[in-house]
Amino acid sequence: MQFKPAHTALVSAVALATLLLTGCEKAAEAPPQQTPQVGVVTLKPQAYSLVSQLPGRTNAYRVAEVRPQVNGIILKRLFTEGREVKAGEQLYQIDAAVYEATLKSAEATLQSAKSLADRYKQLVGEQAVSRQEYDNAVSQRLQAEATLQSAQINLRYTKVLAPIAGRIGRSAVTEGALVSNGQTTALATIQQLDPIYVDVTQSSAQLLKLRRELESGNLQKAGDNAAKVKLVLEDGSLYEKEGKLEFSEVSVDEGTGSVTIRAVFPNPDHQLLPGMFVHAQLQAGVNDNAILAPQQGVTRDLKGLPTALVVNAENKVELRQLKAERTLGNDWLINDGLKAGDRVITEGLQYVKPGVEVKVSEATNVAPANGGAQPAAAPAAEKAQGEGK
């Protein structure tokens, strides 16, 4: 077999040169790169109602623990557990035999003391008795009156009455039980459920931030609506009746760094029971010039900070660092980094970078703005509240 290395190398060199020449001609003939096209959303200021959703629990409006004020044996229980009772309604009957006897004795003692005092009153004028004896007789009459009054009170206390109106719970005693004045165990507990309290907690940091925004004018007070509260129940449903804000605690809990806020809600159907876990929606204020940026145009950098690409007046792309407080539906509430009139890119982000000139068209992947309506899904807004801080 014979080899022709020189001839083979020559043929390879000619072929390579031909390919390179053809590639250069095609490169020279290629059309210039086209300007990328992006979809933008032009930001407009909107009125935004700042709603905070805070966790809390329901508490009875009034609670009364029924306790005996005299000693004795329970003869009767006169109420049905779990039903409504009226203020002053009799709940228990304590054996009153001893107190009735004491009352009769006090009445007899008073009658005797009164007769003696009346007789001495006549005799002291005739100087038949001394003034000291008459004064002692008057004092004994007054003591007898006080003893009689005490006996009447104790006899009345044998009828255990409801101190408030409300729903009474289970009875801790039955007929035949011995009860005593001052005992620590309550006979029963009455809770007034209409209206009902809702105690929620808010961090002191959020409270300070809200006050600063109100004082600076960034937020306007919501007027009468500022005192109104809505309630989200444990199953996620919205309580149909609206409550109002009663007061805010004057001190901060050192353990949790939170402040307790109390609201009161009407509860005629007793749908709310003490101890239920709920969320209260408080309308804190209104921002008339809020900037809402679509979520499609907000991304995160390597540090996790929110950013957006904006088309400037020269149709070139700019990178903006943002401060985003919370979400509202499909939008971010922007605190800093964007302003009214900015054109935020929401389509074609993958084809551009800062400094590139682009062609602009209206975005088609963003729903129309909601016109600044109050957020309909406050739970989602609050869930994202911590993001972007």
Pair 169, 238 in one domain: no
Distance between CA atoms of residues 294 and 40, nearest Å: 10
Residue 148 is part of a domain; what is its CATH number? 1.10.287.470
Report the CATH number that the domain containing residue 260 is assigned in CATH: 2.40.30.170
263, 198 contact by CB (below 8 A): yes
First CA to last CA distance, the chain: 80
Given this model, what pLDDT does residue 319 score? 93
In this structure, are residues 36 and 351 in contact, taking their beta carbons and an 8 Å threshold?
yes
175 and 140, same structural domain?
no
Q: Do 237 and 351 fall within a single domain?
A: yes
Q: State the burial class of residue 4 (Cβ atoms within 10 Å of its Cβ: 0-12, 13-18, 19+).
A: exposed
Tell me the C-alpha distance between 325 and 347, whole Å: 23
Token pair belonging to 43: 């930001």
Supply the pLDDT for residue 227.
62
Strand pairing class (37-42; 359-362):
parallel
Q: Specify the residue for token string 């709920």.
A: 278
Q: Find the domain containing 167 and state its range.
A: 69-94+158-185
Asked whether residue 50 falls in the same domain as residue 119, the answer is no
3-state secondary structure (DSSP) of residue 29: helix
54 and 181 co-located in one domain? no
| pLDDT tens sequence for the chain (389 residues) | 444 454 444 445 545 555 554 554 444 444 556 888 999 999 998 887 777 788 899 999 999 999 999 999 999 999 999 999 999 999 999 999 999 999 999 999 999 999 988 888 888 777 777 888 888 889 999 999 999 999 999 999 999 999 999 999 999 999 999 999 989 999 999 999 999 999 988 888 877 776 776 676 655 565 655 567 889 998 889 999 988 887 777 778 778 888 888 889 999 999 999 999 999 887 767 777 888 899 899 998 888 899 999 999 899 999 999 988 778 778 888 888 999 999 999 998 888 889 999 999 998 888 755 443 444 333 333 433 333 33
Residues 147 and 231 in one domain: no
Do residues 113 and 99 make contact, with C-beta atoms less than 8 angstroms apart? no
Residue 253 domain-assigned (yes or no)? yes
Residue 274: inside a domain: yes
- Predicted confidence at residue 81, as pLDDT, reads 94
Quote the pTM value: 0.63
CA distance 35 to 1: 60
* 363 and 233 assigned to the same domain: yes
2, part of any domain: no
133 and 179 belong to one structural domain? no
CA-closest candidate to residue 317, choices 361, 363, 351, 353: 353
Cα–Cα distance for residue pair 306/298, rounded to 1 Å: 6
According to the model, what pLDDT value does residue 219 have? Answer: 53
Residues in Cβ contact with 63 at an 8 Å cutoff, skipping those fewer than 6 apart: 189, 190, 191, 192
DSSP strands (E only) in the chain = 37-42, 45-66, 72-77, 84-85, 90-94, 159-161, 166-168, 178-179, 188-203, 228-232, 243-248, 258-265, 277-294, 298-300, 306-311, 317-321, 323-328, 331-336, 343-347, 359-362
User: Do residues 36 and 311 lie in contact, with contact meaning Cβ atoms separated by under 8 Å?
Assistant: no
SS (H, E, C) 99-149: HHHHHHHHHHHHHHHHHHHHHHHHHHHCCCCCHHHHHHHHHHHHHHHHHHH
Task: For helices 97-125 and 131-157, give the axis angle rounded to 10 degrees.
Answer: 160
